[in-house]
A and B are shown apart, each in its own frame.
Chain A
Amino acid sequence: MGLFLLFSSYSYTQQSSYFEGFVIDSITLKPISGVTILGENVYAVTNDSGYFKIKKTKLASEVEVSHLGYLPVKFTIDKNQNSPLKIKLKTISTSLDEVSVHSKSANRLAKETSTIEVAVDEEYLHANRENSLMQTLRKIPGVSTMTIGSGQSKPTIRGLGFNRVSVIQNGIKHEAQQWGSDHGLEIDQYGIEEIRIIKGPASLMHGSDAIAGVVDIQPAKTPAINSFEGEVNILGETNNELLAISTGVQGRKQKWYYRARLTYRDYADFKVPTERISYENYIFELDNNNLRNTAGQEANGSVSIGYVDDSFKSETYISNVNAKNGFFANAHGLEVRTSSIDYDTSNRDIDLPFHKVNHIKIVNNSWLDLDSHKLFFDIGYQNNQREEHSEPVPHGYMPKPPNSRERVFTKNTYSLNAKDIFKLNDAHTLSAGLNTEYQNNNIGGWGFLIPAYNRFTAGIFLFDHYEANDNLHLQGGVRYDAGSLKTNSYYDWYRSPRDNNDGTTSTLFLQRAENRNLNFNSFSGSLGISYIHKNTTYKLNIGKSFRMPLAHELASDGVNYHMYRYERGNLDLDPESSYQLDAEVLFESGFLSLSVSPFVNFFDNYIYLNPTSDYVETLQVYEYTQSKVFRTGGELSLGYNFTKSFNVNASAEYVYSRQTSGPKEGFTIPFSPPLTGTLTTNYQFGNFGFLNDLNLTVDMRIAAAQNEIVPPEEITAGYRVFNLSMRSKLDLFNKDKAALLRIKLNNIFNSEYYDHTSFYRLIDVPEAGRNLSVSLTVPF
């Protein structure tokens, strides 16, 4: 059933000392890279063209071909086989349920890596697609999100987010305004084929910020020779009346290939299952359950062109993401607002306050195979433009500003990464590399929050993968990073009165940020082991990661009126450093999969915005502070196939955090996620009328109350929310390329619940109510 083996008859003769072949997808016929071919004394991985070769002397009689998301195939090789073998792999998704992340991640390479990794493929992304990329990924144990309304979110891994999770796309670190609480990721979630998530310290390979983990969006696979294909996806949702369309094409002649994609999304205010929001002593009546002014729109486009041959590949990718999102009109941040704007005339319009973001990205990924050395180069340019608009209102000594442009950030980031992977001998594979990044951040608008700055960072690393034997792998490496940050001074554009020593008062343009040059450096490293014994994989990894302090953590000194606070930076902050011990035991047999991944983590200096008991200009002073933090927790996951078509998966995640020094000693850290569990049942109906491969999933997400809080957070009650989804293939236009239909009902019972880490939580806004979404993907 799951295995297709075709012995093709390529006509050319080949060198007899090697055995070679191609691995392709059984449906799309696209080559699959990174496929493991494994047998006794045999190990090969396919390249981007799906090609592999094995020395014939090493040839074993039986080998296993396995890859993430595909059913493994075992076969016996005929040593007299001379023509290249063509192996077709069938995707696992046709026989397993949508949340079987664990069975999908169980590819050989991930097992041999000592870091705790989860990989998701296109199928998973399609099956779980939510309004934003990170909401789509939140089903993965240990991965969570901070949502900002219905269209934006950012990742958290084991309770850490913002700049403690690196998001990497096509090898380049995504640089937006990720430090900001009302900022989402500017990445088109369509067209992504594979994402690898590292849960744990990953500075070694990824530099600063990868302290809690990495969301690594992999480059799309190279299309097959002489191919052209495309797809159109349309999506409709009831809760926020969303309409979205995304269409992509890709093609290849021989060595040149291209891709292109356009995505447009437009949505109205999202609905919450309540008629009024009670925040402190304020009551906001909602019109028709609409969370006033949270509508948004997004238009994205990307093109890429690539060249590939046996030993060289280069792809240049240009993309633009443009979005406009409204913010809840009654309270911006914590600030309660009344306005003469008639927000309720339309639930689709975007009035003040809103933000506009545009993210341009130009990336080139190149790869050169020099037999023993494999060289990788990633070059990137990113331009992030964010404008935050709100009604001009006088605040404190600030008179009424002339326009609505409150904050404008223009950030340019230039990146260059180079890496050499070379096999020292049969046992040692070394990777050596360099990451550099230059960033230039400019500010505008009448509201000051972070200073303009220039930042340069560079890091070098050396990493060894030692294969003691097939099943025992040791990995370790060291890294050194240096960076400099130059902040620019900033003065208020209005005068504030200040008392002089002689009893008089003068009015001054107050200085909010200084011209400073700061230098940082840090060593990081990791050491790990993975041992595979039959159906069980054991992993142990210890790592040190770091994060350079950000400009606003160091140098901010101003009023954040929307949060009713005065934010003060601290120039004495050190690079944040964190030590983490990770373990994982993963057991998989035909019907059962079980995994446990605990961790222990210690921060020398966790940097956060600490509410003090002081006031400046009647606003509470929040000061960036560093303190020691101890964290532990992990994930537990159990999957059981009762029958071939009935599958149950249960998982739980938990994080315990304690500050062990500093002004909030004994408290947790901000945005700690509660103990959360997910129970998913999946049933395959097979073919049902015109619906092929009909698949029904019910899942329940249970979160315990979060009683672990730190000022100014509030305790959040636990919740239970149910979702239902139905997926099926349809023969619409083309028998070979089935259309995919997905109907999803989120929050079936329209439950009113609060997510402790959601942006709107702090003004007591519940999560979105019931949502029916219908998605149709038509390939051509």
Chain B
Amino acid sequence: MKKINFILFTASLFVLSACSSDNDTIKDEEKPTITINYDGGFPQVCESLQRGETYTFRARLADNEALASYSLDLHHNFDHHTHDDQGATCSLDAKKESVKPFIYMENFSLDGARKEFEIEIKILIPTDIDTGDYHCSFSVTDEVGWQSRTSVDIKIVN
């Protein structure tokens, strides 16, 4: 019986160590947020952008601790490879091959440990690029490395 007691003792030690709480550090387990669903948010779902025009892309960012970086990506969806995450379905043009697609990829970093920020990026849509279905994807990271993304279907027209 002594032996069983010893084992039970070891077992309880093990269980205790397993259940010991860890209050060593408070971790940031919250992702930042990103939205275009407000009055000034741009572009909205199924928005049509004209070549030769300059637009200001706007999205709202927020984080519980500190925002770190954000990016904006515009690329064509001539092959209908995906749909946006905004719920609405836009009518897509027929599939086609790209000739001179518009590609916009830029990254920006934020300093000063901001908790809120509104993205404002001015983009001139070139006049010589392919018109048709495009995607607009925003993404944001916080200081810890959590990321959030949102994307929306748009069109570039003449």
A interface vs B, CB < 8 Å?
Answer: 280-282, 335-340, 391, 393-394, 396-397, 399-400, 533-536, 564, 583, 585, 587, 594, 596, 598, 610-620, 632-634, 636, 654, 656, 658, 663-667, 675, 709, 711-712, 715
Contact = CB atoms under 8 A, between A and B. Distances in A.
Given A596-B14, A666-B25, A666-B27, A564 B149 contact: yes
A305 B97 CA distance: 57
B80 A340 contact: yes
A508 to B, nearest CB: 15
B147 A620 contact: yes
Nearest to A667: B27
B141 interface: yes
Contacts of A564: 149
Nearest to B148: A280
Contacts of A654: 18
B14 A336 contact: no
Given A611-B145, A614-B69, A636 B7 contact: no
B136 to A, nearest CB: 11
17 contacts: A280-B85, A336-B82, A337-B81, A393-B79, A397-B105, A585-B7, A585-B10, A614-B68, A615-B71, A615-B141, A617-B107, A618-B73, A620-B141, A654-B18, A709-B29, A711-B146, A711-B147
B86 interface: yes
B3 interface: yes
B2 to A, nearest CB: 10
B11 A615 contact: no
Contacts of A711: 144-147
B86 A598 contact: no
Contact of B75 (A336, A394, A583, A663): A394
Given A594-B7, A618-B107, A666-B27, A281 B145 contact: no
A252 B72 CA distance: 69
Contacts of B91: none
A24 B109 CA distance: 72
B146 A712 contact: yes
Interface residues of B, number: 53
Contact of B145 (A340, A535, A612, A675): A612
A632 B17 contact: yes
B100 to A, nearest CB: 11
B141 A596 contact: no
A611 B142 CA distance: 10
Instruction: Report the 10 A-B pairs with minimum CB-CB distance, sorted nearest first.
Output: A613-B68, A666-B25, A281-B85, A615-B107, A618-B71, A611-B145, A618-B73, A613-B141, A711-B145, A654-B18
A280 B83 CA distance: 13
A611 B149 CA distance: 15
Interface in B1-40: 3-4, 6-7, 10-11, 13-15, 17-18, 22, 24-27, 29
B87 interface: yes
A585 B4 CA distance: 10
Contacts of B11: 594, 596, 636
A338 B105 contact: no
A613 B142 contact: yes
B106 interface: yes
Interface in B96-121: 97-98, 101, 103, 105-107, 109
A587 B9 CA distance: 13
Contacts of A340: 80, 95
B7 A396 contact: no
A338 B7 contact: no
A598 B103 contact: no
Interface string B46-87: 000000000000000000000011111101100111110111
A80 B87 CA distance: 88
